[in-house]
Amino acid sequence: MSLYVTELRRLGKRRFTRYMTLIGLLVLAAVAVGTFLTNQKIGPEQRASAERQAQAQYEEQVRYVERDRAECERLKAAGEPADGRFPDDCSTITPPPREAVEARWFLPSTFDFRESFGATLIPYAAILALIAFVVGASFVGAEWSTGGMMNLLLWRPRRLNVLLTKLAALLTGVTVVTLLGAAAWTAAFWAVGSYRGSTAGMTGGVWQSFALTGLRGFALVVVAAVVGFALASLGRHTAFALGGVLAIAVVGQFGLGVVLALADVKFPEAWLLPTYGLAWMGKEVELRNFEACNYSGMSGMSECAPDTLTITWQHSSALLAVGLVLALGAALWAMRRRDIA
């Protein structure tokens, strides 16, 4: 039996791999079920109810305005000060036009597959990336901590071949789970759109856009698996990878965010990793600096035009590539150079 097949079977039989995969799939299932339960299909009954609520809201606004106008006229007739509550001319207190209160505001939540499915691919990729990172780190980290790697190298002394074969088995498992999960995820939300919303307007271009977003999500999951595998191999323990990520999350993200805020950096989000993850999945993220809205009191300056910075998926791809190369390169170098003991 080849080493690759053996490692693939070892990956599938590990209880940690099964449990973590099951947990991830249960979380994804909970998201899909929650979306189904919190949306509903909009029909004539829902539209009629929304029209009634809009009319009631408009009539309530009319009553408020008439009450305020009557109070304004009473104060003016009595010669009492209005204390800035009302204008000098009470006739200017008029209700809003009927069309200002739109019925669509009162429609129940509905799932439009064309408009909303792309956004659901972000949590799907994020959850699977987290699972892939932990499983990848545990897959090789457990081998080092239990001495299994040393025993294996007695029979297969080609170090890099052994490590890369383990990585290939891991990526095979990650690929299978991610692609099957993506098919189930798409089918689940198509069902949500069919029974609790709408699937209208789907074209080949829309499906292509979803496919590209899903492909970027798949790449994110693969990178997470490789980085987790590489860090655990580099530190020869699962805790090294998990501890490193925890340090980055706590110190490198929250701590850095506080420091950047105190330093009054123009775009502090541009230094944080989640921004690049969102840009990678959504193609771009626009950051705004509202500190640029410093009004001088001059007339005509009624709008705020903040400075903007756009982070694109190309920026994110460079960051992912650098992280992947550094982590995997360091793991391979350490495997080749260090003693196995």
Do 71 and 147 have their domain in common? no
| Single-letter code of the amino acid located at 124 | Y
Reply yes or no on whether the pLDDT at 275 is more than 60: yes
Reply yes or no on whether the pLDDT at 155 is more than 70: no
| Single-letter code of the amino acid located at 239 | A
Do 126 and 14 have their domain in common? yes
CA distance 174 to 228: 12
Do 181 and 222 have their domain in common? yes
Q: Which of 53, 72, 106 is a domain's end point?
A: 106
Quote the number of domains for the chain. Answer: 2
Do 110 and 39 touch, CB atoms closer than 8 A?
yes
H or E segment at 307? Answer: strand 307-312
Do 21 and 82 have their domain in common? no
Cut 0.85: pTM above it: no
Do 330 and 239 have their domain in common? yes
> Which tens digit of pLDDT belongs to each residue from 120-139?
999 999 999 999 999 998 88
Do 40 and 107 touch, CB atoms closer than 8 A?
no
When mean pLDDT is compared over 20-34, 43-57, 250-264, the highest value belongs to 20-34
H or E segment at 284? Answer: strand 284-289
Do 96 and 217 have their domain in common? no
Residue-range definition of the domain harbouring residue 129: 3-41+110-337
Do 155 and 269 have their domain in common? yes
